Amino acid sequence: MRDVSGYLNSQVEATANNEDLCAVWRKAKDYHQRRLWHQLTGVLLTLSKQEELQKNDDLWQLYTNVIADFELKLNPLSLVDICTPIVNRFDDAEEALQFLEKIGEKVKANTEAFVMTRVLIGKLQLLQFKDVAKTKAIVEEIDGLLAEVEGVGKVHGHYYLLATELYKTEGDHANYYRSALRYLGCGELSDLSTPDQQSHSFHLSLAALLGKDIYNFGELLAHPILASLNGTPNAWLVTLLTAFNSGDVQGYEKLRPQWTKQPDLNSNQEILYEKLCLLVLMEMTFRRDANDRQITFFDVSQQTGLNEDKVELLVMKALSKGLVKGHIDQVEQTINLTWVQPRVLDKDQLKTIMAKIGTLSASIRSMEDMIENNASEILTM
């Protein structure tokens, strides 16, 4: 039988010289005596975040002497939140794993709380046990569990962060990019420290450039997190992303001295150039009016820097990837493109859309005037 009251009394006495911390222990003692579990949960969350208690074995003592006595009466998600910093006190990763599995069994009826325990176990498997296969299985398991949860909350954020760490380890740029953007969508940017923002910006930029089948950088370019790179040695990455998004080969070449110093980019020059050429083709299609989508091989060659004999293969790749729709006239050496894959647009691309809308409006007004002026002739035909 645990002497919870005795332990709480001892903590009140032990912290008498720390007025703020002592006041928190007094609240914990009061709420426990009055069996106000909801209020007590809030106080325990506060205690678990105290730096003073994160030293030595104080949090573990709090768990074994207080929380373990009535943990099933606490909100399941709050229980996991309280226990999360306790995991750090285990020197033995196997003991930490067993502790989390035990908590997981106790909160299994609550999907979000159970998912949080699986996220923490996934982090252990990846960072401590270096077991990528088990981590991947946990990520897939969590993905299925979150399908049952309505809306998006902090649990999703923790899951996406775990997924990004997994994909970074695997070198899976495309899935890293998608998961990292989703992670950023689950919380406030202000919750991240400046170094964390810069790290996310750097890795997201690399993932966008190197990720397979990622041809839409607009969402990333519109995200305020990229501003964290301003004034840093990696500020050129934002300019490089902009060059790719707008199909700017000259901008890409101007930045060659910077990006060739980055090992991942330098070792994937062929992949980068192919992606850039595909984006050039998409941008050329996008900027033309719907009735002027016939592009010559020569035009594409001029814009991309490719030899004309390689243009057909480029267009075939764009067609096969679903980036554009249309057909190739090999005899005339032209491409007739009728559709381009929708993308999140930057400011310059929005200006192009507005210009097209203006042209369309003028065309409609011209047609209206023509019909109005010639209505009698048309009706008597």
**How sure is the predictor about 15, in pLDDT bands with cuts at 50, 70 and 90?**
very high
Picking from 174, 159, 259, the residue whose alpha carbon sits closest to that of residue 217 is: 174
Last residue of a domain, one of 239, 267, 295: 267
Last residue of a domain, one of 233, 267, 301: 267
Residue 150 lies in a domain: no
Does pLDDT of 371 surpass 80? Answer: no
Residue 230 lies in a domain: yes
One domain, residues 333 and 373: no
Q: What are phi and psi of 339, to 5 degrees?
A: -160, 145
Residue 300 lies in a domain: yes
Burial class (CB in 10 A: 0-12, 13-18, 19+), 273: middle
Distance CA 215, CA 43 (A): 48
Residue 76 lies in a domain: no
pLDDT for 328 equals 95
Q: Do the Cβ atoms of 96 and 87 come closer than 8 Å?
A: yes
Last residue of a domain, one of 209, 242, 267: 267
pLDDT for 196 equals 96
Helix (H, G, I), strand (E, B) or coil at 245: helix
One domain, residues 368 and 327: no
One domain, residues 293 and 356: no
One domain, residues 169 and 262: yes
Q: Do the Cβ atoms of 8 and 32 come closer than 8 Å?
A: yes
pLDDT for 72 equals 87
Most confident of 58-62, 102-106, 184-188: 102-106
One domain, residues 262 and 199: yes
Picking from 315, 274, 308, the residue whose alpha carbon sits closest to that of residue 294 is: 315
Residue 294 lies in a domain: yes
Residue 17 lies in a domain: no
pLDDT for 304 equals 96
**Chain segment 76-101, per-residue pLDDT in tens:** 999 999 999 999 888 899 999 999 99
Residue 115 lies in a domain: no
Q: Which residue has the tokens 């930045």?
A: 255
Question: 224 is written with which tokens?
Answer: 């305020």
Q: Do the Cβ atoms of 25 and 6 come closer than 8 Å?
A: no
**How sure is the predictor about 214, in pLDDT bands with cuts at 50, 70 and 90?**
very high
One domain, residues 161 and 262: yes
Number of domains making up the chain = 3
One domain, residues 217 and 165: yes
One domain, residues 288 and 335: yes
Mean pLDDT of the chain: 90
One domain, residues 245 and 334: no
**How sure is the predictor about 231, in pLDDT bands with cuts at 50, 70 and 90?**
very high
One domain, residues 171 and 254: yes
Using the 8-state DSSP alphabet, how is residue 326 labeled?
E
pLDDT mean over 256-273: 97
Residue 207 lies in a domain: yes
One domain, residues 237 and 319: no
**Chain segment 93-147, per-residue pLDDT in tens:** 999 999 999 999 999 999 999 999 999 999 999 999 999 999 999 999 999 999 9
Domain of residue 285: give its range: 280-343
Q: Do the Cβ atoms of 202 and 237 come closer than 8 Å?
A: yes
Q: Do the Cβ atoms of 205 and 241 come closer than 8 Å?
A: yes
One domain, residues 290 and 262: no
